[in-house]
Amino acid sequence: MGTHRLYYDDAYLQNFEARVRYCEPARPVTTESGPKAAWEVLLDETAFYPSSGGQPFDLGMIGEARVFDVRDDGDEIVHVVDRELESGPVKGCIDWVRRFDHMQQHTGQHLLSAMFQERYGLPTVSFHLGGEINTIDLRGEEPKADALMGAQHAANAVIFVDRPVTVRYGTAGELAQLGVRKEVERGGILRAIEIEGADLQPCGGTHVKSTGQIGMILVRRSTKIRQDWRVEFVCGKRAEGSATVDYQRLRTIGERLRCTPEEISVAIEKIAAERDAHFKSLRAALQHLAEARAKLLLETCTPDGQGIRWVEERLRDENPELLLPLATEIAKNEKAVGLLIHEGTGQLVFAQHPAAGKDMNAMLKQVLADVPGKGGGTKDFVRAKLVESRKASAALELARKVFGRR
């Protein structure tokens, strides 16, 4: 016989009376506090909306039973509840805060999709109403910032003049004559939602009765999903929440930067420029330090039997950025080899003057076989980072052994 869907004709119905036609144990439901026993209930009529068409199901109570889930099953609506219900009359009550939020988001989606279609020729191919963010997938050219803002402004303009939102019924042919763009394959009488002067769309969802109740549409970002563009947006109370959080973030950033939210862009530019300048001067200072230190190290280093000067250095508290320039400076000297480690970060750099004739790469491989890490380079210059920084000394000892230094 099927369930009569009360929400089709009155999306604002929160409390209703119905008859329990069927109630049987179902598979346990996973909740935050673990698995819970569940029953499936069919009513003769219901105001509970089942998950469908991108809109999530309603929550609420049927008699003393709490509703976990509501499913669309052909002509029936299946309510999954937390206790057994007796056959016969029962009172139902839906969670109105959740439902009204869904109505704001869903009607906002119809309106926003219509604006993308009408103004930018971008059809919506799918819609998802999430717990926090909603998305529509648009097909066609990438909607750039001006299109995202243009569609948002146009949709909000329709909200501000508070146009009626009504339900229409008709066959696919009749609806097409009224201007429904979407091809509908289902036969029989169809339900469509009309936003006066803006949109007519086949839809089984619940909607607000006039655009003013959407409150506000706020478009967020757009990202590429396969061949389409996924546009994030929020409506109504969610838009208020998002804008509030945005401003709080800006205030926090402003406090940190000692400026007003309006001055943040300028302040960030200034900080980025300062950071770049500091980085440049640090580089220059490290280069000078590397030159001086390489000279000192080589002066106090005695060549081995083959005339090779081995320089070993363990850095601990110094800036690890010193490793590369120091190794480079050492290897500039005839027959010099530099074996450098940074104990704080587990980084190592081995470098040689080509005339030293060793193979740094082969040596590094042997070291990393024993002391795990990632790295590589050329015959003359290698760098690596160990998985465990405290093994840096062990890696240096191993390198000495491989080179026959001990």
Name residue 22's beta-bridge partners. Answer: 42
Minimum Å distance from CB 347 to Zn ion?
56
Amino acid at 347: Q
Applying CB under 5 A, which of residues 203, 327, 351, 363 lies at the interface with Zn ion? 203
Minimum Å distance from CB 86 to Zn ion?
36
Minimum Å distance from CB 92 to Zn ion?
23
Q: In the window 232-271, what residues touch Zn ion (CB under 5 A)?
A: none
Which range in 74-82, 198-206, 344-352, 358-366 contacts Zn ion by CB under 5 A? 198-206
Closer of 205 and 373 to Zn ion (Cβ): 205
Residue nearest to Zn ion as judged by C-beta position: 203
Closer of 52 and 171 to Zn ion (Cβ): 52
Which range in 41-49, 195-203, 337-345, 396-404 contacts Zn ion by CB under 5 A? 195-203
154 Cβ contact list (under 8 Å, min separation 6): 115, 118, 119
Q: At 121, list the tokens.
A: 């020729």
Which range in 201-209, 286-294, 331-339, 372-380 contacts Zn ion by CB under 5 A? 201-209
Minimum Å distance from CB 106 to Zn ion?
6
Find out whether 252 and 233 touch, Cβ atoms under 8 Å. no
CA pair distance 78, 331, nearest whole angstrom: 76
Closer of 197 and 404 to Zn ion (Cβ): 197
> Considering the rule CB under 5 A, would residue 205 count as an interface residue with Zn ion?
yes
Minimum Å distance from CB 130 to Zn ion?
15
Which range in 5-13, 141-149, 204-212, 321-329 contacts Zn ion by CB under 5 A? 204-212
Closer of 94 and 203 to Zn ion (Cβ): 203
Which range in 7-15, 29-37, 205-213, 314-322 contacts Zn ion by CB under 5 A? 205-213
Minimum Å distance from CB 189 to Zn ion?
17
Minimum Å distance from CB 158 to Zn ion?
16
Closer of 134 and 347 to Zn ion (Cβ): 134
> Considering the rule CB under 5 A, would residue 386 count as an interface residue with Zn ion?
no
Closer of 107 and 352 to Zn ion (Cβ): 107
Site track for Zn ion across 153-192, x = CB under 5 A: ----------------------------------------
Minimum Å distance from CB 116 to Zn ion?
15
- Count of residues engaged in binding Zn ion, rule: CB under 5 A: 2
Closer of 25 and 164 to Zn ion (Cβ): 164
Closer of 105 and 222 to Zn ion (Cβ): 105
> Considering the rule CB under 5 A, would residue 214 count as an interface residue with Zn ion?
no
In a 13 Å sphere around the CA of 188, the CA atoms on its Cβ side amount to: 2
CA pair distance 172, 180, nearest whole angstrom: 9
* Helix/strand/coil (H/E/C) assignment for every residue in the chain: CCCEEHHHCCCCCCEEEEEEEEEEEEEEEEECCEEEEEEEEEECEECCCCCECCECCCCEEECCEEEEEEEEECCEEEEEECCCCCCEEEEEEECHHHHHHHHHHHHHHHHHHHHHHHHHCCCEEEEEECCCCEEEEECCCCCCHHHHHHHHHHHHHHHHCCCEEEEEEECHHHHHHHCCCCCCCCCCCEEEEEECCCEEEECCCCCCCEHHHHCCEEEEEEEEECCEEEEEEEEHHHHHHHHHHHHHHHHHHHHHHCCCHHHHHHHHHHHHHHHHHHHHHHHHHHHHHHHHHHHHHHHCCCCCCCCCEEEEEEECCCCHHHHHHHHHHHHCCCCEEEEEEECCCCEEEEEECHHHCCCHHHHHHHHHHHCCEEEEECCCEEEEEECCHHHHHHHHHHHHHHCCCC
Report the alpha-carbon angle 11-41-6, nearest 5.
Answer: 20
Which range in 181-189, 197-205, 269-277, 320-328 contacts Zn ion by CB under 5 A? 197-205
Closer of 167 and 298 to Zn ion (Cβ): 167
Q: In the window 33-52, what residues touch Zn ion (CB under 5 A)?
A: none
Closer of 11 and 382 to Zn ion (Cβ): 11
Q: At 191, list the tokens.
A: 């339900």
Catalog residues that contact Zn ion under the rule CB under 5 A: 203, 205
